[in-house]
Structure 1
Amino acid sequence: MAKQNILIIGAGGVAQVSAHKLAQWAPEFGELHIANRTKAKADAIIASLREKGHEMPFTSHALDAMNPDNVEALLKKIDAGIVINVGTAFINMTVLEGCIRAGAAYIDTAIHEDPAKVCETPPWYANYEWKRRGDVEKAGITAILGAGFDPGVVNAYARFAEDEYFDKIDSIDIVDINAGSHGRWFATNFDPEINFREFTGTVYSWQGGEWKENRMFEVGREWDLPVVGKRTAYLSGHDEVHSLSARYKDSDVRFWMGFGDHYINVFTVLQNLGLLSEHPVKTAEGQEVVPLKVVKAVLPDPASLAPDYEGNTCIGDLVKGSLNGKEGEVFVYNVADHKLAYEEVGSQGISYTAGVPPVAAAILIARGDWDVKKMVNVEELPARPFLELLGEMGLPTRVIDAKGDHAI
């Protein structure tokens, strides 16, 4: 069977990681392509591949992915069989539409967002992607949603616990701690606009069989995790809660993200001043601006943080449940090193953890293991093949269970 051509859409820090991993695993695919609104950014990623000694450079393309006609036309032109969408979450639905029309498999790493709306009614997937389930199946393509790390790998961790530890799951607590330091006074680890939008609205969690609402930074607790030690994380709204709550209806599903006091203080000031609003305002000179976009413009580009980043991340699922009536718990997790990520692919650890998994998903589609010809979230797919492949690709999974702390 002919190997499938693959296209990356986007050219930020996560796209750079995905491109480097595709280059490392190029024999799994046919032609490699990368597209971005600004072609020069895609070319810069290709240049970074050559610096690492990869002789099979990608072909770059200029693409306005907000227009599904453009996406469809490019996919047909290059005969793409698989698309990895690691651009802004604002383009998910137009890229998905292009894939449906062109018959290409679709992979993304976050829920679609409408630029004019923040924190819509849960479950967020039902507002956008899930509405296209029938169209995806009718087109006979595979669409894997949220195949980054969180969402993505953490969804697979929950499925792994379901498959290998419990017949009844009581709770899933996803914990994301970044204990690294980039040396800047203030910066976000990925697109500031998307980052801040996650935390300006209502915090939704799934508890007691219903959606619970909290304010950001209202509920915090200390976690003692491998490598990073004791860190405070706060109950946060996040993508994976919205799909996991559909599969694990009788379980509590919560997402916790670590924040330092400095981040919270800066965030609070920006929010109280109205600088995190997505709604346009007019300056005294009559110029219309969106405050959140202005903040994004003055903050460091997340990709620029990589050279100076040090420390580790620890992201995992604490899953509690029972097997044959006997209660227990398991912590499934990964630790990533910012400096090692930079040395390997030129990006920091946050981008590394987000950029490797969609390539693993693409490999599993190309091999047929995950080519399910319908729309799915990661927890609907077999977890072990994914986690084992990620281990080969640089994101090993470890487990703390009754036997201790060990690799899967």
Structure 2
Amino acid sequence: MKKNVLIIGAGGVAQVVAHKCAQHNDTLGNIAIASRTLSKCEDIVSSVLEKGSMKVEGSIKAYALNALDVAATVELIQQTESQIVINVGTAFLNMSVMSACIEAKVAYLDTAIHEEPNKICETPPWYANYEWKRRDECKENGVTAILGVGFDPGVVNAYAKLGCELLDSVDSIDIVDVNAGDHGRYFATNFDPEINFREFTGTVYSWQNSEWQSNKMFEVSRTDDLPVVGERTTYLSGHDEVHSLSQNLGVANIRFWMGFGEHYINVFTVLKSLGLLSEQPVTTAEGQEVVPLKVVKAVLPDPSSLAPNYTGKTCIGDFVKGKKDGKDKEVFIYNVADHKEAYNEVGSQGISYTAGVPPVAAAILVATGEWDAKTMVNVEELDPRPFINLLNTMGLPTRIKDEEGDRPVSF
């Protein structure tokens, strides 16, 4: 059984992870949280202690760390005697943190695909460009590495796997992500603005008819009447899970759809048209080199600052279509989360909550051995049932809607 967790990152998602690890520290053991800015880590530790989140008496400590420094990360892993590392820092850190975990022979979990600062929307399947190149090394060293175990990617991968198990054959999986919340700001992103915008400024890759299809952002849309949040329009978007599901499930059509309001689309379009979302550096008249996207990030609200006044709900799930007993069948497997409830519990908004709870559930399953794969895997390669059951008890209950009605899912 693995014990002691090192959390890398100190944003809104890291705050959720810290609280949830504390709530399950009888299983997970001591908690360390590290990022470049020590004060942010200390604030999260204070939040955990103030809310009394620790289930049993234990240790939670803050550390300063440049996680791009592999040797320093290995040293901190060893110093804290951590056997599980949950990486919820920027996606630019993934390969460095993974390298440290392989060297230290400890479990590695992250919530997003690796990115390089000067590249966007890389050739699919994107995981093959970075993470999957280390798969054999993980297996040789007996290192469990679970990739993309947030909500999307993550929980939706488990939903896709479950849908494939519930139906005799599957023709399509359409993942729909709708945030029907309101943060009260003129414009803001729900997570790191740099990562957020990078998802939507390049080619939209989807998996259709068993091959990669390319589109432009906001070119293709659909409208669904979703549980709780009602009728919503979503747009075909490129996203992490499509890159692994397309390779692992043998389904001909896999797409990701994200909801956007007209205001977001308008502001995004203006920023992109002006070149302010470029990841490439430019030189100002004064001779100063800047990256436009980083400037936009600097002037937008910190996503964690949105939490106190956030209201409304999210609805994220998978429409899985295929056949059962020779008949056409569609199921919608989904979760609804509430921004205000998330803030009241852990001090973060609902987007951070949905991203932060799943890696802790995965860490618990690694600790107990159920998901201790001792190699590199994406979530759909693991049994979804213990994961879904655990999430049901941790604040992210799963439901299913089909011709038989709308009901909770448990095993």
The two structures have a TM-score, normalised by structure 2, of 0.97
**Is the 2:161–2:249 Cα contact (8 Å) retained in structure 1?**
no
What does residue 380 of structure 2 align with?
379
Contact 1:49 1:57 (8 Å CA) reproduced? no
Q: Distance in 1 between matches of 2:29 and 2:122?
A: 39
For residue 51 of structure 1, report the CA deviation from its aligned partner: 1.3
- Given that 1:208 and 1:252 are in contact with CA atoms closer than 8 Å, whether structure 2 keeps it comes out as yes
2:348 counterpart residue number: 347
- Check the 8 A contact 2:31/2:61 in 1, yes or no: yes
Return the alpha-carbon distance in structure 1 between the equivalents of residues 202 and 405 of structure 2.
39
Letter matched to residue 41 of structure 2:
A
Contact 1:6/1:83, CA 8 A, preserved across alignment: yes
The answer for the alignment partner of 1:75 in structure 2 is 77
Match of 1:41 in 2: 40
CA distance in 2, matches of 1:98, 1:185: 40
User: 1:211-251, CA deviations, whole angstroms, 9 ceiling, x for partnerless residues?
Assistant: 00000000011111001001110000000000000023342
Q: How does 1:262-341 map to 2 (within 5 A)?
A: 262-341=263-342
For residues 6-405 of structure 1, the aligned pairs below 5 Å read 6-54=5-53, 56-163=58-165, 165-405=166-406
Structure 1 residue runs of 5 or longer lacking an equivalent are: none
Contact between 1:357 and 1:390, CA under 8 Å: does it hold in 2? yes
Q: Name the SS of the counterpart of 1:366 in structure 2.
A: helix
Letter in 1 for 2:263: H
* Number of residue pairs the alignment of both structures matches: 406
Secondary structure of 1:249's aligned partner: coil
Equivalents in 2 of 1:188, 1:250: separation in Å?
A: 32
Supply the distance in 2 between the matched residues of 1:386 and 1:150 (Cα, whole angstroms).
Answer: 14
Once the two structures are overlaid, the 10-residue window that deviates more, 22-31 or 182-191, is 22-31
Pairwise CA distance, 1:269: 0.3
Tell me the alpha carbon deviations over residues 360-403 of structure 1, each in whole angstroms, 9 at most, x when there is no partner: 00000001000010100000000111001001000000000232
Larger deviation, residues 49-58 vs 201-210: 49-58
Contact 1:235 1:257 in 2 (8 A): yes
Q: How well do the aligned residues superpose, as a CA RMSD in angstroms? A: 0.9
Structure 1 Cα separation of the partners of residues 90 and 8 of structure 2: 9
Contact 2:30 2:59 in 1 (8 A): no
Contact map agreement 1:167 1:322 (CA 8 A) in 2: yes
Deviations 1:331-375 (A, max 9, x none): 000000000000000000000000000000000000100001010
Distance 1:313 1:19, change over 3 A: same
* Distance of 1:346 and 1:114 partners within structure 2: 30
Q: CA deviation at 1:141?
A: 1.1
Once residues 180 and 268 of structure 1 are traced to their aligned partners in structure 2, the CA distance between those partners, rounded to angstroms, is 21
What amino acid is aligned across from residue 154 of structure 1 in structure 2?
V
For residue 57 of structure 1, report the CA deviation from its aligned partner: 4.9
Q: Distance in 2 between matches of 1:324 and 1:346?
A: 46
In structure 2, the gaps of 5 or more residues are none
The AA in structure 1 aligned to 2:269 is T
Q: Secondary structure at the match of 1:144?
A: strand
CA distance in 2, matches of 1:119, 1:258: 19
Letter of the structure 1 residue corresponding to residue 160 of structure 2: A
> In structure 2, what residue type is equivalent to 1:200?
T
Structure 2 distance, partners of 1:341, 1:59, is: 23
Letter aligned with residue 388 of structure 2: L
Contact persistence 1:314–1:334 (CA under 8 A): yes
Q: Secondary structure at the match of 1:213?
A: strand
SS in 2 for 1:196: helix
Kindly state the Cα deviation for residue 167 of structure 1 after the two structures are TM-superposed. 2.3
Distance 2:105 2:7 in 1: 16
CA distance in 2 between partners of 1:379 and 1:311 (Å): 29
Distance (Å, rounded) in 2 between the aligned partners of 1:368 and 1:260:
42
Q: Helix, strand or coil for the counterpart of 1:101?
A: helix
Please state whether the residue corresponding to 1:122 is helix, strand or coil.
coil
Shift of 1:32: 1.1
Q: Which SS does the other structure have where 1:307 is aligned?
A: helix
- Deviation string, structure 1 residues 52-79 (Cα, Å, up to 9, x no partner): 0246451111110011111111112222
